Amino acid sequence: MSRVSGIRGEAEVAVWLRRHGYELLAHSYHCRFGEIDLIARKKGLISFIEVKLRSGTQFGLPREAVTARKQEKLRKTALCYLSEHELDCPVRFDVAEVYADAEDGKHRIEYLENAF
């Protein structure tokens, strides 16, 4: 998938999050440890969200691309975000799987709370 497709997938997940009562706090947050695709809050809990866009599962499920090494980078990046914003609240790490249908151009979102 191209970077443009990835950005489109992240935008669709952002819309999905808002529809489900989340407040979007950040998109493509960067620090020296890495990047978090989306950061959102709902009912006092902050979700750090990794978005994975795929056109199929022939190479495995999108969530399987969030390896132990990637998870560690996400944890460190999340700590950086919390420190920068002086936040002390419950957090979780979610994965949004976006499945792109090449025929009709529509996407299906599978949202996994507490993915790791």
Strand segments (E) across 1-116: 23-31, 34-42, 45-54, 91-100, 107-112
Q: What is the mean pLDDT of the chain?
A: 91
Res. 9: pLDDT tops 90: no
The rounded distance, in Å, linking the Cα atoms of 112 and 97 is 8
Predicted pLDDT at 105: 63
Contact (CB, 8 A) for 38 and 10: yes
Residue 19: count of CB within 10 angstroms of its CB? 8
Predicted pLDDT at 2: 61
pTM listed for this prediction: 0.90
Class in CATH terms, 3-112 = alpha beta
